[in-house]
Amino acid sequence: MTERNDFSQKNRAAKIPAAKAAEINEKLQSLDRLAAESDAVAEEMQLLVQELKQPMQVRAHLFFSLEKNMQYIQDILGTDIKLVSATYPLEQFSVGVAYIESLSDHEVINNQIIGPLVAAKLAPGINLADIPRQLQFKIISTAGIQKTTSMDQILGSLLNGDTVLFIDGLNNALIIASRKVETRAIERPQFEGTVLADLESFTENIETNGSMIIKRLPNSSLRFENFTKGSLSRTKIQLIWLEGIANPTVVKEARRRLEAINIDSIDGAGTLGQLIEDSPYSIFPKYRQTERPDLAARSLIEGRFVILCDISPFAIVAPISLWDNLKTMDDYGERSTSASYLRFVRYIAFLMSILLSPIYLSFVTYNHTIVPQSLAVAIATGRAGVPFPSVVELLLMTLAITVIREAAMRIPGSVGYFVGTLAAVVIGQATVAAGYVSASIIIVVATSEISAFAISTSNLVYATRLINYFFIILAGMFGMFGLINGIAIIFWHIASLESFGVPYIYPLVPFELSAMRDTFVRIGVLQKRFKIFAPFNRLRSKRN
């Protein structure tokens, strides 16, 4: 077959004249060159597309030309963002105004910027370089004006709702505050309910939140330091402390961590806290999130710092110890005896939320002799016919209660709590009636879950849930021996934690007797601040 093909090709080649063969060969070479050129063009097109997909690099400084500045900003922002730009004559000069329509306050722009600008009369013989100063201090009737030559700062200000004023012939511009502020009204705290404390909570506006703290601490030693973080979100952040009271070393460390943040977006106080906290993979919170301005103000008085984050209705309070998560503002509104009793109950509830289920499991599975005989008989009778081992039974019911609680939290309004309670009751009765679980398991799991409601911070609640699962598994495998070892592991972990340099189990380690007056109980009105929070200004009141 191969020989026949070769013979046919030779015959065809013999029939083609030499001139014709040369012409065909030349055309084939032309096609090869054209194909190679097409590949090169395709490669160049691919590189060009990749370059176009890259974000446009913002130039460092402004142009001297007003027209170029306006066009450049429009090119950077694109046509989808409605940038309003207009040029106005200012005697023999030209000025341009630019702002984003949906972000800026039109009343401020028309009455305090454009109106005075159109009616303005410059000083006789004024130089071009002196116009920004005259505009800033004599013509535009609004505060919050700053001069800049940075194109990046101008773009950020426009996206923040400010108005930019350009002057033809100068490579600097004026940024004028004109942000349209839309915020919800100050409401009651939703997650940190109290009886005797304030009824105000933070909002999503950082200026409003800052003003609520200033209202409670109108003192010249109150310090605010501003940051803008997030290359895309450009989130405003405020570090707040009381000069002369807060530990300067702690404030310096907080400032360093905030300055070191390098991320494209900050979603809120929760994200910010995770970026600056110690031991981020630990389940225990090393900072406290609060929606209460009174708690934030009290924390500042104690020598801590507070961080506000724009678009977040929560503030970050640090440094803290483990025990701070179990304190509420009601502790300071009640008399010391009542406050100490309530705080003691809160500690008992905290221990019950993590220890009640594993202790029950260890008694049922391994350590039978510890349980009184009558109680053991009652438990055994209740478990008759249950198809699951005790550890599986306990884990399933704990998980079911957790799912019900999480689902209830996602239902808006007070209906969620009603639905969650109803679901827990119905499911509990149905599972006991069907013989899938024992009644004693329902009692233990429900008591453990209700105890978690007494914990004042949600971050610690989630930590107790994880510890509870860990202890249940250890108790199911090794009984009381496993539970005791689990407690030792958790305590060792807690003892190794710090919050901005403050040991997490302070004032136990390092021990401070005076701080014990407001840790597990509250003895009278605290006359001295904790030494570790305010080492240079501890005195709060003088005895008469």
Quick check: 121 pLDDT over 50?
yes
pLDDT tens, position by position, 220-253: 999 999 999 988 888 999 999 999 999 999 999 9
Dist CA 286 CA 496 (whole Å) = 12
Under a CB-based contact definition with an 8 Å cutoff, are residues 469 and 395 in contact? yes
DSSP 173-240: EEEE--B----PPP---SSS--SSS------S-HHHHHHHHHHH---TTEEEEEEEE-TTT-EEEEEE
Looking at residue 45, its pLDDT comes to 63
Looking at residue 13, its pLDDT comes to 47
Mean pLDDT for 490-499 is 95
Looking at residue 1, its pLDDT comes to 47
pLDDT tens, position by position, 297-307: 999 999 999 99
pTM to 2 decimal places: 0.80
Dist CA 320 CA 327 (whole Å) = 11
Quick check: 2 pLDDT over 50?
no
In whole angstroms, what separates CA 471 from the centre of its chain?
30
Average pLDDT, the chain: 85
Looking at residue 41, its pLDDT comes to 63
Dist CA 2 CA 5 (whole Å) = 5
What number of other Cβ atoms are within 10 A of residue 93's Cβ? 16
Q: For residue 7, name the pLDDT band (cuts at 50, 70, 90).
A: very low
Least confident of 149-153, 327-331, 380-384, 535-539: 380-384
Domain limits of the chain?
Answer: 2-53, 66-176, 206-320, 347-503
Mean pLDDT for 52-58 is 50
348 vs 187, more confident? 348
Residue located via tokens 């306050």: 105
pLDDT tens, position by position, 386-412: 788 888 889 988 898 888 888 877 777
Under a CB-based contact definition with an 8 Å cutoff, are residues 437 and 397 in contact? yes
Q: What percent of the chain has pLDDT over 90?
A: 37
pLDDT tens, position by position, 506-533: 999 888 888 888 889 888 877 788 889 9
The tokens for 192 are 């940190």
Q: For residue 381, name the pLDDT band (cuts at 50, 70, 90).
A: confident
Q: What percent of the chain has pLDDT over 70?
A: 89
Strand ranges of the sheet holding 222-229, from the earlier edge strand across to the other edge: 222-229, 235-242, 305-309, 315-318, 288-290
b/e string for 399-421 if b means 16 or more Cβ within 10 A? Answer: ebbbebbeebeeeeeeeeeeebe
Strand partners, 164: 98, 175
Looking at residue 5, its pLDDT comes to 47
Mean pLDDT for 478-484 is 92
> How many helices and strands, by DSSP H and E, does the chain display?
19, 12
Strand ranges of the sheet holding 93-100, from the earlier edge strand across to the other edge: 83-90, 93-100, 163-167, 173-176, 145-148
Mean pLDDT for 41-69 is 67
Q: Which of 99, 191, 177 is nearest to 142 (CA)?
A: 177
Quick check: 50 pLDDT over 60?
no
